[in-house]
Amino acid sequence: MEFLGVYDETGKELENRKILRGDKALKDNEYIKLVAVWIKCEGKYLIQKTSKEKGGVFAVSGGHVPYKTTSKQQSIVELQEELGLNLDPNKLKLLGNVKIPHCIFDVFLVEDDSLKQYNFNLQKEEVESVVWCDCKEIDNLIQKGIFRESSKLHYDAFIKNLEYQK
């Protein structure tokens, strides 16, 4: 049984307010938090193909933020669980957040060229494989309709802008 914190529209956790994961009992002005972590190495981003159980689409690492856990803490947990990556929390840069109904995604970026040769230990229940993609390749996945919608939202809000401003 996993509990999630409940947040207001600014991303502030509501004191002593939690819900059971999967519970849809949020009020109109309440949100749960999720994290998304974009990993950049030598100009490319680490994209995972999710397991068949998770839809078999392409996405970035991330997940729900449990009650009384920070987004940064949960980002580290997700990277460890999904990719076997032990990352220094100081390498996580918060880009901002993206809101959809009842969800706030805190979006992080890791830039580390040493990860190109990293031997990722994938959590097979969640991740089938990983691939390094540039923005044109990500755009192609989006056009084919095989890129997770939430990952596309963070990409459009932050990553594409970072890359195309250069």
Domain-located, residue 67: yes
Task: Please report which helix (H) or strand (E) contains residue 64, including its range.
Answer: strand 61-64
CB atoms within 10 A of CB 80: 15
Domain-located, residue 15: yes
Q: For CA atoms 8, 33, 100, 43, give the dihedral sign.
A: positive
> Looking at residue 27, which CATH number applies to its domain?
3.90.79.10
Domain range for 25: 3-159
Name the domain count of the chain. Answer: 1
**Per-residue confidence in pLDDT tens, the chain, 166 aa:** 899 999 999 999 998 899 999 888 898 899 999 999 999 999 999 999 999 999 999 999 999 999 999 999 999 999 999 999 999 999 999 999 999 999 999 999 999 999 988 999 999 999 999 999 999 999 999 999 999 999 999 999 999 877 655 5
**How far is it, in rounded angstroms, from Cα 104 to Cα 150?**
11
Domain-located, residue 165: no
Q: Supply the pLDDT for residue 161.
A: 76
pTM: 0.94
Structural tokens at position 51: 């397991």
